Structure 1
Amino acid sequence: MTVHESTAVLCEAVATEVVRGLADALSRRPSASLVLTGGRAGTAVLAAIREHAASRTVDWSRVDFYWGDERFVPADHPDRNESQARHALLDHIPVDPARIHPMPASDGVHGNDLVAAAAAYRELVRAMGQEGFDVCLLGVGEDGHVASLFPGLPAMSERDLPVVAVTDSPKPPPSRITLTLPVIRRCDEVFLLATGSAKASAVATALGANADNLPAASVSGASRTVWFLDTAAASEL
């Protein structure tokens, strides 16, 4: 766990770790993979990666980009994590478009069929050989959710499938697609991000002795798990 004095300092620290993790993976293999997250902090991290001095050390043409979850809305909807990621990072670095793997939109080839859209992303993940990823970014919600894995909902109990449809998200919109705990736990490095006092209770619970199956407490990386907090989010520790 690391605690930072501001969101800006936190984002710079996360960017440093993402760049390092991808560069390390690329030094060992022909390609690397990064799971993106949305939200204010997640999007700010992507902007920090774009501006990071060491960003040029990463061969972005060899990096595959995936998403931890996505709102099932039209492709041009501003609330899509994909839209935020493109504006903050992907439109500004030399990526191979074929290596960007967004989750399906509600106006895509599967239409409004959420189950078919989730199944398609599940097959993509399997076909790309990515039952786990190199670096996974996860924002932590005020209720302790990560990706679209919410406390007490069925997606939290999935033990086999790497990707599932969510129809009952307590945060709008209710229809989403998400990675599941099994595939997240197979990621090499998992970085959890929490900023602001509204997250303090969830952070304290997740990092405490009695996490009560809180999603944020249930995720971990195969090699490394790091919580990145600002002072407000860490205020109840």
Structure 2
Amino acid sequence: MTEVWAEKRVVIAPDPGTLAESVASRFLTRVRKRVANGRQAHISLTGGSMGGAVLAAAARHPRVHEIDWSLVHFWWSDERFVPRGHADRNDVLARGALLNHIDIPAENIHSAAGSDDGVDLDTAAEQYARELAAFGTPDHPWPTFVVCFLGVGPDAHIASLFPDRPEIQIVDRSVVPVRESPKPPPERVTMTRPVINSSLRVWMVLAGEDKAAALGLALAGASYLSVPAGGAKGRRRTVFFVDRAAAAKVPPELIDQEY
């Protein structure tokens, strides 16, 4: 299959609060359009402060209950291998911010196993890969995400794909275990680059001065091995949604005033 990706663009909001509200509105509009004719929408969520802020803004939005959430499936690009219900888990953040506030079937929320589920880290990754495969397409054993949200760390990591680590190079599996993560907690499961890059839209949401260098490197074409955010690409859209502080090093020609 020929790989064609959209050009990376940057959309700037004045501050983190406005950024979260803007992305949430775009997200709900996109999901509403997708399910309007009875089509399913698979969404990959992320953790972090901005990931939670976007979901919380979506929960407050007046259009949130106009969507048929029974057609939407939520996944996570990575999860921390800690007990279910632990505050470090990305699914706990998402449930509190949005998922507990919408009418969505429990089976549409696809969470990775926790460390208290009686499985080890490798098995947790294998189980999540099998669950993805149950919604696979003719092209690959995982669903095609309408939107894949990603946070970007100051080191330019995405999901739990960290710079200069072996996980960023793996292309023959959909989910892999992560041990001795540079950022705690040390054990995680993460989707791999092929899964992320098969998404229709990759939306990276980041705010703060400490993200400016990572954003600049990602836009400058740095190697994805050392700058994982630079290797995240949606097939239709690749957008960095940022606040002014994070946009300090963005070339003016990459700023999209229309999107």
Which band: TM-score by shorter chain?
over 0.9
Query: Which residue matches 2:20?
Result: 11
3-state SS of the aligned residue for 1:25?
Answer: helix
TM-score, scaled to structure 2: 0.87
Partners of 1:22 and 1:33 within 8 A in 2: no
- Contact 1:131–1:162 (8 Å) recurs in 2: no
1:228 aligns to 2:241 (yes or no): yes
Q: Which amino acid aligns with 2:200?
A: D
Pick aligned residue for 1:61 from 57, 70, 89: 70
How far apart in 2 are the matches of 1:136 and 1:190?
A: 5
2: CA distance, partners of 1:133 / 1:209: 24
In structure 2, the CA distance between the partners of 1:64 and 1:212, relative to structure 1 (3 Å rule), is closer
Runs of 4+ in 1 over 6 A off after TM superposition: none
CA positional deviation for 1:76? 1.9
Q: Alpha-carbon deviation of 1:216?
A: 0.4
Q: Give the CA deviation at 1:28.
A: 4.6
* Mapped pair 1:197 → 2:209: yes
Alignment equivalent of 2:181, drawn from 169, 184, 197: 169
Q: CA deviation at 1:29?
A: 4.5
Q: Deviations over 1:195-220 (max 9, x none)?
A: 11111111111111435641101011
The amino acid of 1:219's aligned partner reads A
Q: Any unmatched runs of 5+ in structure 2?
A: 1-9, 137-141, 251-259
Tell me the amino acid that sits aligned with residue 233 of structure 1.
A
Check 1:210–1:120 CA distance in 2 against 1; reply closer, same or farther (3 A cut): closer
Does 1:115 pair with 2:122?
Answer: yes
Kept in 1, the 8 Å contact 2:221–2:230? The answer is no
Q: Which runs of 5+ in 1 are unaligned?
A: none
Letter of the 1:75 counterpart: R
Q: Which amino acid aligns with 1:154?
A: P
- What residue number does 1:218 align with? 231
RMSD: 1.3
Q: Is the CA contact 1:3–1:230 (under 8 Å) kept in the aligned structure 2?
A: yes
Q: 2:219 aligns with which of 185, 196, 207?
A: 207
Where does 1:130-145 land on structure 2 (aligned, <5 Å)?
130-145=142-157
Higher relative contact order, structure no. (Cα contacts within 8 Å, ≥ 6 residues apart): 2
Identity %: 42
Shift of 1:233: 0.7
TM superposition shift of 1:17: 1.8
In the alignment of these two chains, the number of paired residues is 235
